[in-house]
Copies of this chain bind each other. A is one copy, B any other.
Amino acid sequence: MPRPKTRIQLRNSETILEAALDVFSSQGFRGATLDQIAEVAGLSKPNLLYYFPSKEAIHQTLLTRLLHTWLDPLREMDATGDPVAEVMGYMRRKLELSRNYPRESRLFAIEILQGAPRMREAIEGELTALVAEKAVVLRQWMDEGRIARLDPVHLVFSIWALTQHYADFDVQVRTVLGEGHDPYAEAGAFLETLYTRLLAP
């Protein structure tokens, strides 16, 4: 039943995807088992395979959905806005994404780490195109002297690296910080300072 029609089908599909996100993001594709997903979803294993043709299909559905969520913050960076504010806004939106969707961040990270076997197409297409488009905008701002001259693509990489770190390495971050810290609040303040200093013309 690849295309759910009824309300129940839709709800069950969502329940499965929600459970699958939980398991795939913490165990990776091969580490995850249908048993685990079924348990989290509160459904039987064959029932999972009634809604999705295979484990692979569940995973693929998650990845496809993820890509849009993931690229939206960059897409919103506006060429007509104030340059520093736009880059800072992008950084903030990306950090919020890490805070609010850490499982999605880890799902994405595991996929890329393992060589993007199920996402290569999207990375070569949509993602690369978007970065290229925004690099033009950034370079324009640099040419106008409105932000510091930097490699625009590596500037984007730095935002990815610094924000996703807090979701992907959550265990390490919380362990090193110890009790009584709000990692994302502190990260927000730190990154605010970092990019203020970096971007100043």
Shortest distance between the CB of A91 and any CB in chain B (Å): 13
Q: With A162-B161, A177-B153, A197-B197 known to touch, is A113 a contact of B123 (CB < 8 Å)?
A: no
Count this chain's copies in the assembly: 2
Residue positions of A touching B, CB distance < 8 A:
26-31, 106, 109-110, 112-116, 120, 123-124, 127-128, 131, 148, 150-151, 153-155, 157-158, 160-162, 164-166, 168-169, 171-173, 175-178, 186-187, 189-190, 193-194, 197-198, 200
With A and B bound together, what is the CA distance between A42 and B42 in angstroms? 44
With A and B bound together, what is the CA distance between A176 and B159 in angstroms? 15
Residues in B with CB closer than 8 Å to A120 are 171, 175
Q: Please determine whether B189 and A198 come into contact, CB atoms closer than 8 angstroms.
A: no
Other-chain residue from B31, B165, B197 in contact with A29 (beta carbon distance below 8 A): B31
Closest-by-CB residue of B relative to A106 is B113
